[in-house]
Structure 1
Amino acid sequence: MIPMTFSAEVQTARDAGTAIVALESTIITHGMPYPQNVETARLVEQDVRDAGAVPATIAVIDGTLHIGLEDDALTALGQAKDVAKLSRADFAACIAIGGTGATTVAATMIAAHLAGIAVFATGGIGGVHRGAETTFDISADLHELAQTPVTVVAAGAKAILDLNKTYEVLETLGVPVIAYGQDTLPAFWSRDSGMAAPLRMDTARDIATAMVVRNVMGLPGGQLVCNPIAQADEIPAADLSPIIAEALADAEAQGISAKAVTPFLLDRIFTLTDGRSLTANIALVRNNARLAAAIAIEMGSAAS
């Protein structure tokens, strides 16, 4: 057995059969500075509660997998230094050596499934990085979606990626990609990527039922729900395109690679947008948390 502990709130929800939504922790440790990171994490958790479900922020602390963080643990994680960024490859190793790490999309999906949590809310998934035809830089998130049965609610793949290749890989892997309430896929900070959505669903119940049917059929993997950022909070894709291009050029010039790429690009785009990207990021994560809570609630009734 792996060392795993549940927060008091999550344990109560498990005992009562209350809907639970998993939340990642890299947004706390690698997404923004203290204290804004902790304030945002608490806002997102409260959004889940207000929507009728229970939040479970996931992290590894001193070799123990935490499903839900107590308030003091969340504060401490928000101020911790040199926290590992965990994905499938290094998740088990971090636990084995008693380390502390924040979970990415892939690691959060693994932990959620271990804990019996079927729905996970995040900002945006990782995917195929631009230039991957020479670097082979492809996020483990895509393969995780193909094998771990968790519904992931995101504002699409991060706009810094090669979106066409990302969704092509997801199609090849057999991952359902569902746009919520519109016919096109969103692009993280922007509502419309210009790409047609493979699937469209307009209700949380339809999304929940689709996952239940997938499980009954014995199909492996989860599903990606692409929830567009609210119109009032978005940064139009046309405004972002030259900014992303500049940030990518800076990363290449500085030799940034592997896990360092995404944090570097997000920080550079924050500077180039005078902070608008972070404001939009917080808005979209909260929007995703609310939809994920609705799906989690429907999942319980759809499965019965």
Structure 2
Amino acid sequence: MTDFHIRYGAEVADARRDGRPVVALESTIVSHGLPRPDNLRVAREIEQAVRAAGAVPATIGMVGGELVVGLDDDQLTRLASTDGVAKLSVRDLAIASATGADGATTVAATSAVAAAAGIGVFATGGLGGVHREASQTFDESADLTTLARTPITVVCAGVKSILDVGATLERLETLGVAVLGYRTHRFPGFFITDSGFGLDWSVDSPEQAAAVLTAQAAHGAHLGGVIVANPLPIDEQLDPALHDRTLAEGLARMEREGVTGKAVTPFLLSHFHSATEGASLAVNVRIILRNATLAAQIAVALAARPSLAG
């Protein structure tokens, strides 16, 4: 993929020309991850969080078959309010482009497009991962294999707790994807602060994260992605007892209704929203806003390092 295939929004084009820090943002959260009309409001708040921390937001999506890095407000509104927007992983990009589709990019697709556009930092809510019962279904998110081959730093709140967290961490290790806890040695579980799994490495500041990324680029031996796992503070997480009960109920309902494949995550997230009477949605919004701020801070710190600037 080259610049010829990508259209840049005006703000992002200016930032690229001037060498200012840019943070990639996904559009799946806009079209599939949050209910209307909250989705558009939150998308704007995410972009503003990036700007407030000193970087330029680049929300990535497809409009009429054209990949856009830095959707403008009209394009954001279109993806947020139109029915039938496709959910695009990496494998879908060329097909959707050739057919003139509107599409929202997943973590995997956003990572790939951001890297092709020369953007090194990406903020999202939670990664995809290995699904429960994957030993029978072989259901694993393309996020993992994409990060194994894509030079991108992803700031997230771990993987969604509806997944098999332990198996996901094992796969990330096998694939050579580095995982850094942000001010923690515990891997976050999206809605909850601690998934129950530990981490070997931690950084304590955006500048320290930037130093790690600079060293990675200098060594040239690790060409894949880096995850910066940013947990919610304990007092901002979803109540763990409510979380566990809701997850058990959602998994049982999913099995009864035969939900499989790419429908699993939106089904369970919708169940969380209804069963917690909106509490999980509020947590989800806090997660992405915090991650957007941290990603921008890391991008600013990286831009201050001459070896990675520009």
CA distance in 1, matches of 2:263, 2:164: 17
Q: How does 1:24-173 map to 2 (within 5 A)?
A: 24-173=26-175
Equivalent position of 2:192 in the other structure: 190
CA distance in 2, matches of 1:212, 1:96: 37
Equivalent position of 1:295 in the other structure: 298
- Please state how far the C-alpha of 1:303 moved relative to its aligned partner: 4.3
8 A contact 1:212–1:303 mirrored in 2: no
Equivalent position of 1:262 in the other structure: 265
Amino acid at match of 1:183: H
Provide the aligned C-alpha RMSD in A.
1.2
- Please state how far the C-alpha of 1:197 moved relative to its aligned partner: 1.2
SS of structure 2 residue aligned to 1:249: helix
Equivalent position of 1:179 in the other structure: 181
Equivalent position of 2:278 in the other structure: 275
- Please state how far the C-alpha of 1:216 moved relative to its aligned partner: 2.2
Amino acid at match of 1:44: I
Equivalent position of 2:241 in the other structure: 238
TM-score (norm 1): 0.97
Q: Unaligned stretches of 5+ in structure 2? A: none
Equivalent position of 2:208 in the other structure: 206
Q: Unaligned stretches of 5+ in structure 1? A: none
Per-residue CA deviations over 1:29-56 (Å, capped at 9, x if unaligned) read 0012222100000000000000000000
CA distance in 2, matches of 1:184, 1:238: 19
- Number of aligned residues: 304
8 A contact 2:242–2:276 mirrored in 1: no
- Please state how far the C-alpha of 1:148 moved relative to its aligned partner: 0.2
Matched, 1:19 2:5: no
Per-residue CA deviations over 1:185-209 (Å, capped at 9, x if unaligned) read 1110111112111211111111122
CA distance in 2, matches of 1:123, 1:178: 16
- Please state how far the C-alpha of 1:85 moved relative to its aligned partner: 0.6
